[in-house]
Amino acid sequence: MDNSTTLTVIGSPFDQAMMQRCLQLAYQGMGKTSPNPLVGAVVVKNGTIVGEGYHPGIGHPHAEVFALNQAGEDSVGATLYVNLEPCNHYGHTPPCSQAIIEARIATVVMGMADPNVTASGGKERLEQAGITVMVGVEEHACRELNAGFIQRVLYQRPFGIFKYAMTLDGKIATTIGHSAWVTDVAARNRVYEQRSRCDGVIIGGNTVRQDNPYLTTHGKSDHNPLRIIMTRTFNLPPQARIFQTDEAATLVLTETENVEQQKTLEQKGVEVVQLSPLTPKAVMQYLYQRGLAKVLWECGGTLGARAINEGAVQTIMAFIAPKIIGGVTAPGPIGELGLTQMNEALILEQMNWEQLDNDYLLIGKIAQSFWEDKL
């Protein structure tokens, strides 16, 4: 169920369907394009798709080029649909705006303008060449798909998502720390799907010691995010599952120098980096420099609260199970935020609900006014 604000509809139903097809194509690059955006393109001639393409990764041709090449001579007088404004600069590849002009496309329909001033200007160049341009078809969906790219461009940080699973009475584990499993299979599969959409997933040392997670997509996708551990003490069990790097890479961020522990982990293929101060804000700055666009926080409540307070989280994903476990000392999903009055509570925006068999998933955005000035 979508409870988000009603949006202005731009374009015909056919335009919207073609843009949705662009998004489907773009999704095929999920987890492989960062720091580049996810882009899909479709060429339509006389109501029929004659060319399609998506951007598979940095250094490869852009979606528009693949679509135009597939369309060939059918591009002449055709309409090009693309979810992001065609680039207008020389980067790893030539500008797509020039390729579109040379293909003699008549109309370009794009989902959103490019927020990157270095690459933008494609719309104006196309219009100067006599091409009709429409902007804003399925814009909300286009912006959601590239939330990570937009966050990088505007704030020089990855987009942060804090995910947790809790019982109906707000517990993420029992009083003795047992947490397998709060939710059922459908909800856990949804988590694996979300991991496949992210470049990195972050946990703290306590989660490694208590839960011993894999943090992979469990075969649901061929893309696994970079698994990131924040640990001040470097007190980590060397045999933890997260240090099995055949399937997915692991990065340990620590303030503590431990030569023997570091050598042991590096022999397993684990990357170890000293970072001080080891805070969510500093970690997100570092991950931006490494090219990550979207990060999933799967940590406990203490680190999660710090990530929220430091502006490292833009979206909350709360999985809620119809279970009651009780326990005064049983942990909740979010630690101390420093809020003492109910009118200070963070109110999520653009709410969506999903039912996953017996469980529910609530997705909402933290108000931009809360996190923007913390970056």
Q: Which residues are catalytic?
A: 64
Q: How far is CA 214 from each of CA 183, 211, 246, 271, 322, rounded to the nearest angstrom?
A: 17, 9, 12, 16, 25
Which amino acid, one-letter code, is at 325? I
206 — phi, psi (to 5°)?
-60, -40
Whether the CA torsion 71, 76, 77, 83 is positive or negative: it is positive
CA angle 52, 55, 60 (to 5 degrees): 120
- Strand-by-strand arrangement of the 315-321 sheet: 271-274, 250-254, 226-231, 200-204, 294-297, 159-167, 315-321, 359-365, 349-356
Whether 354 and 363 have beta carbons less than 8 Å apart is answered as yes
Structure tokens at 244: 């099995």
Identify the residue whose tokens are 């469990």. 218
Whether 126 and 101 have beta carbons less than 8 Å apart is answered as yes
Whether 88 and 95 have beta carbons less than 8 Å apart is answered as yes
CA–CA distance, 375 with 360 (Å, rounded to integer):
31
Identify the three-state secondary structure at position 149. helix
Whether 165 and 54 have beta carbons less than 8 Å apart is answered as no
CA angle 258, 259, 260 (to 5 degrees): 95
Whether 252 and 270 have beta carbons less than 8 Å apart is answered as yes
- Give, for 356, the enclosing helix (H) or strand (E): strand 349-356
From 302, 271, 138, 132, select the one nearest 207 (Cα to Cα). Answer: 302
Phi-psi region of 56 (alpha: psi -120 to 50; beta: other; left: phi over 0): alpha
